[in-house]
Structure 1
């Protein structure tokens, strides 16, 4: 009875005071089918399976970080798999989504964009000057014209 009242309280909070953010106030917990949650041993087996599949996906993402491939995207996909069953993963994904949204809003701020463009231009000028000094001092020797 307590679990039912807790779920209804979570739904009413998501419906009433959500304010356009229903994902932020969605109830936490397992999204396994009801027949799986009804049997303890089946639910534990389900959780172990979800954990192993998520672990394999996160592991593949970690391997893809130094190798070619979308490493971070695969890691977040593994976290999303874990979030179907584990509250800690749901909280991590909520935090990550919030931080990515905040960073995107900061990056779109005209002052920040202007600052980033100026810093990029200054950096490119510095690199061009350093390359010019190097070429002036040492010259350019093509690999096919090296004489020893």
Structure 2
């Protein structure tokens, strides 16, 4: 099985060539801002996808990898983050089924707490009026 480091490296290498060639083109001055916008967009999409089935962490790391084409801090964060992810996956793989189950339940509870907290905050700020019936049902007031 490929490590996260290998998967991210393969994808970022594809971006590097295109990125460098585009910088040398007629519209090279647009490459930096567009790279930053793309990197942040991919990273934020990945963060949103983390609790969902699929490749959330890979998407986050690819977003940071895109940012690393223009930002040194992103390069450092990518190196550190991928190493920590690979270490966690290796450690998690050695754990018993019971401990893995506890982690999964804790993760699901954490995801629900975050989503409920965000929904409450948006409702409180008036950005989620569609939650008014549920809020009245549980007795919440703005």
Q: Larger C-alpha radius of gyration, 1 or 2?
A: 1
Provide TM-score, normalisation by structure 1. Answer: 0.41
Relative contact order (C-alpha < 8 Å, sep 6+): which is higher? Answer: 2
